[in-house]
A and B are shown apart, each in its own frame.
Chain A
Amino acid sequence: MTQAEQERRFLDKIDREIKIEPNDWMPDEYRQTLIRQISQHAHSEIVGMLPEGNWITRAPNLRRKAVLLAKVQDEAGHGLYLYSATETLGADREQLMDDMHSGKAKYSSIFNYPALTWADIGTIGWLVDGAAIMNQVALCRTSYGPYARAMVKICKEESFHQRQGYESLMKLCNGTPQQKAMAQDAMNRFWWPALMMFGPSDAESTHSDQSIKWKIKRFTNDELRQSFVDATVSQAEILGLTIPDPNLKWNEERGHYDFSEINWEEFWQVVKGNGPCNKERIAARLKAKQEGLWVREAANAFAKKRAMKKSA
């Protein structure tokens, strides 16, 4: 089959909503785009464990501690499903991680903000996992089979992440004035970074067009961001929290909420590595890799020894 025929077949499958599977022919750029997007997603799951992991030992009670532990463990699983999906495309998992450590590959910039108080943990579950879910639900219909299947599994697990965060904030908002103030402070700090999670505006987004054509992405960054704002406003009202945006108001004509322009200067600064925690996060990942190295080597040695005993 000629290259042109293969390309026509590929586009025909995309048109007819037939999933692309690992051994199918695909344009090299499709493969590279997927590896970049899925690995960035995987890195986000893994780095996302750091701000929350910090709070496991400081959770206010045993119930919250067990819940946070289960959530963080889920995120590790999500990272793994996604790294597995990149491997079906021929990517080398170790290389991908090294690319994150060197700064060549990115992860979601939201995790470069610190989790300063216990209210931040509830807010992360509600807003950060909430924004991630908005994105991930759309990706369940992505054109690459292994990525879509990973997303379905991840979405099933994510819904508890958002609900536990919301529940925890509900407790604080119905608590003492200080607890309520702590929740509002967390909201003030996380609202804009959460909106930034959807990436640059459509006008600025470099990869968007082709990704939409190939059905890797099913909605644009701005569409998803708008859906998130629309879904979140009433949730904030029920908590009694104020969204820190004086221009937020319902637009009858559009059938959506209007909101202020995002501070893109801040967004690009954090993406470029100058956020509050970029260096700390990468240092923590490197430390984990280096200090865990002997465990991986020991497991290899043990497996070899056991195999020898079996064959003896």
Chain B
Amino acid sequence: MSTTQWPLWEVFIRSKQGLNHKHVGSLRAPDATLALENARDVYTRRSEGISIWVVESANIHATDIDDADSFFEPSDTKIYRHPTFYEVPDGVKHM
């Protein structure tokens, strides 16, 4: 007795002022208004949030897991982007 399902939404919650919204999970709802209300009931029953974003899962674009190695390669090889790459004499302070 299956029925047409409501669309899937991804839920992001800002736990407190000063922090980013963070992905916490997903849920199904017929529209954004109800997705927000359901997200409140499902993911913030113990004051876990002060702000919620919902995004239809179909609208999320992601990097391809199979290409991850080559996709992220440019940053893995540039060790000179990190402060530890550089040598500074022992006596130098505040750097």
Q: Give residues in A with beta carbon < 8 Å to B.
A: 1, 21, 23-25, 70, 73-74, 77, 80-81, 84, 87-88, 92-95, 98, 101, 149-150, 157, 289-290, 293, 296-297, 299-300, 302-303, 306-307
Contacts and interface: CB of A to CB of B under 8 A. Distances in A.
A1 B30 contact: no
A74 B45 CA distance: 8
Contacts of B41: 73, 77
Contacts of A70: 45
A208 to B, nearest CB: 28
Interface string B28-49: 1011011000000110011000
Contacts of B66: 1
A149 B26 CA distance: 12
A73 B46 CA distance: 12
B58 interface: no
Given A1-B66, A77-B42, A94-B3, A303 B28 contact: no
Contact of A94 (B5, B34, B45, B65): B5
A81 B39 CA distance: 11
A290 to B, nearest CB: 7
B6 A300 contact: yes
Given A1-B66, A23-B65, A94-B2, A303 B26 contact: no
B79 interface: no
Nearest to B10: A84
Nearest to B57: A87
Interface in B41-78: 41-42, 45-46, 62, 65-66
Given A80-B42, A296-B3, A300-B4, A306 B31 contact: yes
Contacts of B25: 81, 84, 149-150
Contacts of B65: 21, 23-25
Q: Which of A74, A149, A290, A303 has the most CB of B within 10 A?
A: A303
B34 A303 contact: yes
A100 B34 CA distance: 27
Given A73-B41, A77-B42, 19 more contacts: A24-B65, A25-B65, A73-B45, A77-B41, A80-B42, A87-B8, A88-B26, A92-B2, A93-B28, A94-B2, A94-B3, A94-B5, A98-B1, A296-B3, A300-B4, A300-B6, A302-B30, A303-B31, A303-B34
Nearest to A156: B46
Contact of B26 (A73, A87, A92): A87
Contact of B1 (A93, A290, A300): A290
B1 A289 contact: yes
Contacts of A21: 65
A77 B45 contact: yes
Contacts of B2: 92, 94-95, 98
A77 B42 CA distance: 6
A300 B34 CA distance: 11
A95 B2 CA distance: 7
A136 to B, nearest CB: 16
Contacts of A306: 31, 33
A150 B26 CA distance: 11
Contacts of B26: 84, 87-88
